[in-house]
Structure 1
């Protein structure tokens, strides 16, 4: 389906743009969430799909449509961040970090790094299901449709992946 959608988009079929948005809007928003402030995600996402339509002639349907869209999203996120003024706050108005010395912040960042490393250890199908669910905020049904898999397979991959993550992270939490 993705291949034919990409071909239709490259041909300039307006219905393909609408389908592309329905199919990939959550993926693009999840990706943008890593770079763009939450209040700006929707605006940047609209710019991404507008640019995808304007530059559809540059898309090669033999390549991944998702990767092409995420490349556009990355560039538009960079543009958005560059265009924003850097907010500066007087040092006197900044409060003390949680815990007084920043230990709480360090623990959160350390835990985030542990989760990323644990995800990298998972088999690709399990990692993909978990990333689509938690980072792209897709339902299991949406994941099944996107990956063209039975819903039960997605549920099993997610459950097995979460179980493995728990086993990998449990010794470190103790």
Structure 2
């Protein structure tokens, strides 16, 4: 009986550790950080996403740039393309301690929605391990493009979301 209790105690201590180790992707090293986000198209020029007037854009080009805070010199750059449902990802294998890192839109893959939305074109991310964030994954704000001409159903959505028509 004592052996059974001892074996159960060992299993209760070891199983959570095994589960946590299995959950972590093997390709992510100790210093590696992953930046994730999405690109979208806003059809009514509200300046924010809505379920009725936004859709995710796959194939959009996104850039990550880290700069030295004092000299503003670019220290690191990378580019990627958004995939399914507008998701993009950067895998960064180094810590960017006190640098300013921004993810920014470069180009849309959708010709009908290629204008970069002002105020939604960039997202700042923290790429160091000394900030209180336990995860190695950094989430950038969604960034958007807008259509040149608003869709016909936008007037109804303006009423629904109580957007001032002068702002659109």
Choose 1 or 2 for highest CA Rg.
2
- Shorter-chain TM range is under 0.3
Q: Which structure has more RCO (C-alpha within 8 Å, separation ≥ 6)?
A: 2
TM-score by length of 1: 0.24
Which has more helix, going by share of residues? 1
In the superposition, the TM-score normalised over structure 2's length comes to 0.25
